[in-house]
Amino acid sequence: MSEELLRIDDLHVAFSTRRGMVEAVRGVTLTVKAGEMLGLVGESGSGKSVTGFATTRLLDAAGRVTGGKILFRGQDVTKLRGDELRQLQGAAMSMIFQNPRAALNPIRAIGLQIADAILTHKRISKEAARAEALDLLRAVQIRDPEQRMNAYPHELSGGMCQRVMIAIAISCNPALLIADEPTTGLDVTTQKVVMDLLADIAAARGMATILITHDLGLAARYCRRIAVMERGRIVEEASPSTLFSAPQHAYTRRLVAASPTATSRIEDLVTEEERERYPAIVSKPRQEPAHGTPPLLEVRKLAKRFDQGSAAVADFSMTMAGGESVGLVGESGSGKSTTSRMICRLIDPSEGDIVFDGQSIGHVASRDFHRSPLRKDIQMVFQDPNESLNPRFTAFDCIAHPLMRLDGMRAGEALRQRVVECAQRVGLPLDLLPRFPHQLSGGQKARVGIARAIACQPRLLVLDEPTAALDVSVQAVVLQLLDRLRRENDIALLFVSHDLNVVRMLCDRTIVLHNGGIVEQGESRALFDNPKTDYTRKLVEAIPHIETGPTLAAAL
């Protein structure tokens, strides 16, 4: 239909590391036509971002194109030098990045940052560049653009920062825009707004876009064509409907299965052939607690105010039975993490009480709670397994530490056995125990974090976005693990997440938070299928759904 804009031909990229050259991209071939949006999907380490950076010539100093060609309008980008290259970068070809706040210079007003890009490529006056920057802010639908011109990135929300990045990227009307995980880390609702804006701008300006993402659903929603990458190669390229209804490659099948959808169940998250590798999920139905059993956790009118400001959380009440799983969802700033931290007794509530197993713990100061005998009953799994493990502790130390502190165990054979047992319960290979966090993969680190949390056999596990930093296939395994632990050991789970599909699968009940207050709660499936409030409906509608047509149903 239209001419070929970009042609990547048998691209090889290698990085020099301490252990020699490592090939990150091994023979990628793909084409992008003018004006089309191509999805480049894969998990971390698949080489999708490296392919993007090689195309825009933004590879780290350690990375080198070792083979192949990148032809942009027939010109080999890999051979460009100096001025020729700079005339391309930001002008004919531009890029937006993950984590928009970090991608903007923190001490330069955003108006100047947009004008920088314009002045680099156009011979116009500073005033004219400023006027163009203002127009661009309008184009990316930023309110009060005149005032925002002088704002600094820390004064803007994540979604606004990404719009500013888009404004910079489109400032010189590029023919190709590469968007590298543009909405990862943003709320679902913000993600939808930003992606809709990007798609509209691309369509209006006839700009070709490569959307690099780990989220198959997102790519399916916005792209006509999706290329799936695994370990440096493109394993499959097809339209979204073909990809979901008849995935050809084993990796694609696994990826499709692992992507949670509105209807998937935890058991569905792995493909048939893989399922046998995991122990059959104990499908024992949860025993309903006998009538009149006091709840495990009761939270009454909890509130938290920081520094006299408005309440981060107000009037939050809930109960949880033993072995129950409850989801806590909401956008960032809704107070879900604050609430979970108060329940974990990591921070002190301003008002209200927390009753655990009949004992009031809300008034024990958080800094003294570690001495409470209930500390081992309430444990937490943190969001980022990379940041929440001590880099100087081995996996073994990490799991052994709570046992020594809270169970009073001494170093020795008994401790070693308990650690090994914990590792086995979470499916962590025992030979990984002497390793340090940087020697473990994301999924392995997540397992260490969970093993640490369950080491003292808690009765309540609070999970703060435990899978947000993980690939979907790893997330699938971690979710299955959590579900199994809950069923086997009757651990109650309080699951804090912005990923509604995950919450729907894992949690019996869901509580929706907005601006620090509960807006809706109820049985998960019913709540998501029939949201009663506009806010919940907005959240549900913003999830990029994978089209589950009749063909897919037939394939299953």
Partner 1 sequence: MLSYILRRIVATLPVMAIVALFVFSLLYIAPGDPAVVIAGDQASPEDVERIRQSLGLDRPFLIQFGSWVWRILHGDLGTSIFTNLPVSAMIGQRLGPTLSLMIVTLLLTIVVAVPLGVVAAWKAGSLIDRVIMGFAVFGFSLPVFVVGYMLAYIFALELEWLPVQGYTPLSSGFWPWLENLILPAVALGCVYIALVARITRAAMLEVLQQDYIRTAKAKGLGQGGILFIHALKNAAVPIVTVIGIGIALLIGGAVVTESVFAIPGLGRLTIDAILRRDYPVIQGIVLLFSFVYVLVNLMIDVVYTLVDPRIRY
Residue 99 φ then ψ, to 5°: 55, 70
| Cα 434 from Cα 484, distance rounded (Å) | 26
- The Cα–Cα gap between 483 and 506 comes to 7
| Binding positions for partner 1, 249-308, rule CB under 8 A | none
The distance of closest approach from Cβ of residue 100 to partner 1 in the complex, given in angstroms and rounded to an integer, is 9
Nearest 10 degrees: CA dihedral of 89, 22, 255, 250?
Answer: 120
Near partner 1 by CB under 8 A: residue from 9, 116, 348, 357? 116
Closest approach, Cβ 137 to partner 1, in A, equals 16
We find the least distance from the C-beta atom of residue 169 to partner 1, in angstroms, to be 8
Which of 116, 357 has the CB closer to partner 1?
A: 116
Piece of 31-39, 93-101, 480-488, 532-540 that binds partner 1 (CB under 8 A): 93-101
DSSP state of 532: -
Min CB(94)–partner 1 separation in Å = 6
Interface with partner 1: number of residues (CB under 8 A): 28
CA distances from 409 to 182, 403, 412 (A): 47, 6, 9
Would you say 165 or 270 has its CB closer to partner 1?
165
In the bound state with partner 1, the residue whose beta carbon lies nearer, of 132 and 483, is 132
**Subset of residues 161 to 190 that bind partner 1, contact rule: CB under 8 A:** 165, 168-169
Q: What minimum distance in Å lies between the beta carbon of 15 and partner 1?
A: 15
Determine if 40 is a binding residue for partner 1 (CB under 8 A): no
Q: Please pick, from the candidates 94, 191, 264, 337, the single residue that binds partner 1 as defined by CB under 8 A.
A: 94
Give the nearest distance from C-beta 187 to partner 1 in angstroms.
Answer: 20
Residue 383 · residue 465 · CB < 8 Å? yes
Looking at the Cβ atoms of 172 and 342, the one nearer to partner 1 is: 172
Q: What are phi and psi of 182, to 5 degrees?
A: -65, -20
Q: How far is CA 387 from CA 101, 437, 440, 469, 503, in A?
A: 19, 10, 13, 11, 23
Q: How far apart are CA 507 and CA 328, in angstroms?
A: 9
Please identify, using beta-carbon distances, which residue of 7 and 121 lies nearer to partner 1. Answer: 121
Note whether 258 and 473 are within 8 A (CB).
yes
Instruction: Pick from 2, 16, 44, 87 the residue near partner 1 by CB under 8 A.
Output: 87
Q: State the alpha helices, DSSP H only, in 247-328.
A: 250-258, 272-275
Candidates 30-38, 112-120, 346-354, 507-515 — which segment interacts with partner 1 by CB under 8 A?
A: 112-120
Question: The tokens of 34 are what?
Answer: 């003018």
CB of 108 to partner 1, least distance (A): 7
Using rule CB under 8 A, residue 436 touches partner 1: no
Angle between helices 188-205 and 158-170 (to 10 degrees): 10
Candidate residues 67, 122, 152, 517; the one interacting with partner 1 per rule CB under 8 A: 152
Q: Which is nearer to partner 1, 140 or 406 (CB)?
A: 140
Contact in structure between 327 and 523 (CB atoms under 8 Å): no
Considering only 102-110, 287-295, 306-314, 536-544, which stretch makes contact with partner 1 by CB under 8 A? 102-110
- Asked if 157 interacts with partner 1 (CB under 8 A), we say no
As to burial, measured by CB atoms within 10 angstroms (0-12 exposed, 13-18 middle, 19+ buried), residue 166 is: buried
314 token code pair: 């107000």
Q: Is 108 in the site for partner 1 (CB under 8 A)?
A: yes
Q: Which stretch binds partner 1 (CB under 8 A): 115-123, 279-287, 352-360, 521-529?
A: 115-123
Q: Figure out which of the listed residues 13, 54, 95, 137 binds partner 1, where binding follows CB under 8 A.
A: 95
CB 315 within 8 A of CB 260: no
- Compute the distance between CA of residue 157 and CA of residue 165 in angstroms, rounded to an integer: 12
Three-state secondary structure call for residue 515: coil
Site stretch for partner 1 (CB under 8 A), options 7-15, 82-90, 345-353, 537-545: 82-90
Closest distance to partner 1 from the beta carbon of 104 (Å): 6
Residue 494: name the closest of 265, 296, 307, 311 by CA.
296
> Whose CA is closest to 243, among 554, 502, 552?
552
By CB under 8 A, tell whether 105 contacts partner 1.
yes
465/440 Cα distance (integer angstroms): 20
Asked whether 461 and 379 are in contact (CB, 8 A), the reply is yes
Phi, psi of 96 (to 5 degrees): -120, 155
Residue 44 lies near partner 1 (rule: CB under 8 A): no
Interacting residue with partner 1 among 20, 74, 106, 408 (CB under 8 A): 106
User: One-letter amino acid identity for 364?
Assistant: V
Residue the block writes with tokens 């006998």: 290
Q: Assess 309 for contact with partner 1 (CB under 8 A).
A: no
Written as six digits, the tokens of 109 are 């007003």
Tell me which residue of 157, 58, 150, 155 sits closest to 113, measured CA to CA: 150
For partner 1, the binding residue among 103, 197, 281, 374 (CB under 8 A) is: 103
From the CB of 339, what's the least distance to partner 1, in Å? Answer: 28
Cα maximum dimension of the chain: 78
The token pair at 316 is 């939050």
Q: Which is nearer to partner 1, 21 or 556 (CB)?
A: 21
Could you give the 3-state DSSP secondary structure of residue 7?
A: strand
CB of 91 to partner 1, least distance (A): 6
- Per-residue binding string, partner 1, 119-138, x by CB under 8 A, is -xx-----------------
Footprint on residues 46-75 left by partner 1 (CB under 8 A) = 56, 58
Contacting positions for partner 1 (CB under 8 A)? 56, 58, 86-91, 94-95, 97, 99, 102-108, 116-117, 120-121, 152, 154, 165, 168-169
